[in-house]
Structure 1
Amino acid sequence: MTAGLRIEGLTKEFVPGRPVLQDIDLAVSPGEFVCVVGASGSGKSTLLGLIAGLSRPTEGRVLLDGHEVLGPGPDRGLVFQTASLFPWRDVARNVAFGLESLGVPRGARAERVRWLLDEVGLGHLAGALPGRLSGGQQQRVSIARALACSPRVLLLDEPFGALDVQTKEDMQLFIRQVWQDVATGPVREAPAAPPDPAHRSTVVMVTHDVEEAVFLGQRVLVLSSDPGRISQDIPIDLPEPRTLEIKRSPGFLAVKAAVEDQVRAEHRAHQARAVP
């Protein structure tokens, strides 16, 4: 069985003969953090939805640990730009929702939720309703909820796009720390001890922010447009752990410029193809 996420010959059409994505081939190793950038209309969110199982490819397939993705499942956690929390459930019960659906016993469920809320810095707000939380806090709850069932893959669709600059940078540091801390083993029947950080969730994150992609990712995929294809797969070789100061380093700025140049080139090529 092949471990990790694989996409083979994927094409997606919503209108026959007009592919949004075409001939996508991609392999993501277990525990990798991959960011996807590209111009509007390049199919970034469509790609994420296909991995999540929210829709099926027109051609090709998505495989997770050797099994074809045929629909949504607890092995994939999805976080959108808008938190989409249940407003009538307090923070703890929002995080516990997936565990309840899986029938995890109450004691194990409570222990897992308690650990996750401490991990995301919201243990003191376990009993609060979402309406009392800031935008950044709501996204932390969304991420904790997505991680509660120990997904093999965490899918992030521009999760920080609606936040102010300071909160956004705080969340960037937060998601990288959580990625390093949270293990992906199966939910256990016994109360969950803090998981082994050697077993990380794979993260695939869509963002329009090149700086964010370079800061967070181990790889950055640049999509072309109309149809969306992977035009470049750029490894990000930056020191660990990453702090915000690295954004001012010559190495970071050089990689950011290279990715921006590629995105710009793809956008110009798309505009040129659109001219009759």
Structure 2
Amino acid sequence: MTGTALLDIQDVGKRFQARGRDVLALDGISLRVARGDFLCVCGASGSGKSTLLSLVAGLDTPTAGRITVDGVPVTGPGPDRGLVPQADSLYPWRTVERNVAFGLELLPVGPAERARRVDWYLAETGLSELRNSLPRQLSGGQQQRVAIARALACEPEVLLLDEPFGALDVQTKEDMQVLIRQVWQDTGTTVLMVTHDVEEAVFLGQRVVVLESGPGRVAADIAVDLPAERDLAIKRTPGFLSLRARIEDLVRAQHHTAGQATG
């Protein structure tokens, strides 16, 4: 980490009931994310990636441990965390501009400041010319740009990304990866992202955490030793390919171990 921890996940566990069984989804997760960091969490299906993000977002509560943002315990959703889910999160009756403004309408932000933020984040995400469009008139990538702009307009302490590009085609996905990294550099927002795509994690993150499967535990916390300035060409470099292979092997090994334990 590069500074004081902003997001502190301390020995977090999560149990729930599924089909009459007690399931331990997360066990003893401890992570500290510095202000301004970009942390990606990877793992196979069943590793609890999205469960962890849901707990940080305050949409669910841990059964063990605690989560704090800037020293304040997370007890529910709040404006200090902005969540971008996988898809279908826009209000279909609102224009792009009014979707981006939605969160600001719930905060003590005056009309002039609200308009300034909406304009800035529309420009930052390349949406200024689409401000009067409705979601149904947008492509999948454009819709996710709106979701990102809406989350960032509230200027949260932490931006939470739950596999937001998973449903996009390869070209659009790479365009969105470039966009989110540029937005992160421009705004300095702390980002926690979960993804099953190791290549995406290595391209975007400063660190990549690999979770075991069933229950989710931290298997590895790896620094991404690549230049801060990255474009898509870096994905073809030996350093990138080596790191991607290392993390893919870790994910595969954890998934295989979990399969043996439950098989």
TM-score normalised over the length of structure 2: 0.96
Q: Which aligned pairs between 1:125-204 and structure 2 lie closer than 5 A?
A: 125-182=130-187, 200-204=188-192
Residue 267 of structure 1 corresponds to: 255
The structural deviation recorded for 1:77 is 0.3
Shift of 1:150: 0.5
Identity %: 63
The equivalent residue for 1:21 is: 26
CA deviations on 1:92-146 (whole Å, 9 max, x unpaired) are 1100011101131111111110111011111011111111111000000000000
User: Is the 2:59–2:77 contact (alpha carbons within 8 Å) kept by the matching residues of 1?
Assistant: yes
Give the equivalent residue in structure 1 for 2:65.
60
Q: Distance in 1 between matches of 2:116 and 2:252?
A: 47
Corresponding residue of 1:69:
74
How far apart in 2 are the matches of 1:52 and 1:175?
A: 19
Structure 1 residue corresponding to 2:114, chosen from 109, 112, 116: 109
Amino acid corresponding to residue 240 of structure 1 in structure 2: A
* Alignment-derived partner of residue 4 in structure 1: 6
Q: What does the per-residue CA deviation read over 1:63-92, in whole Å, with 9 as the maximum and x for residues that have no partner? A: 111110000000000001104100111011
Mapped pair 1:241 → 2:251: no
Of the three residues 193, 198, 212, the one matched with 2:200 is 212
Root mean square deviation of aligned Cα: 1.0
1:221 aligns with 2:209: yes
Contact 1:83 1:142 in 2 (8 A): no
Matched position secondary structure for 1:49: helix
Q: CA deviation at 1:3?
A: 4.5
User: Where does the alignment leave 5 or more consecutive residues of structure 1 unmatched?
Assistant: 183-199
Runs of 4+ in 1 over 6 A off after TM superposition: none
1:47 is aligned to 2:49: no
1:94 equivalent in alignment to 2:99: yes
Partner-residue secondary structure (3-state), 1:26: strand
Paired with 1:226 and 1:161, the residues of 2 have a C-alpha distance of 22
**Structure 1 counterpart of 2:161, one-letter code:** L
Which residue of the other structure, out of 211, 218, 230, is the alignment partner of 1:230?
218
- Write the distance in 2 (CA, Å) between the matches of 1:163 and 1:3: 32
Determine the C-alpha separation between the residues in 1 that align with 2:34 and 2:27: 22
> Any conservation in 2 of the 1:91–1:127 contact (CA below 8 Å)?
yes
* Secondary structure at the counterpart of residue 220 of structure 1: strand
SS for the counterpart of 1:154 is strand
Q: CA deviation at 1:17?
A: 4.8
Q: Given the two structures, how large is their TM-score scaled by the length of structure 1? A: 0.91
Structure 1, residues 146-182: CA drift from partner, whole Å, max 9, x if none? Answer: 0011000000000000000000000000000000112
Output the CA distance in 1 between the equivalents of 2:103 and 2:30.
Answer: 31
Q: How many residues align structurally?
A: 257
Does the 8 Å contact 2:80/2:158 carry over to 1? yes
CA distance in 1 between counterparts of 2:38 and 2:164 reads 15
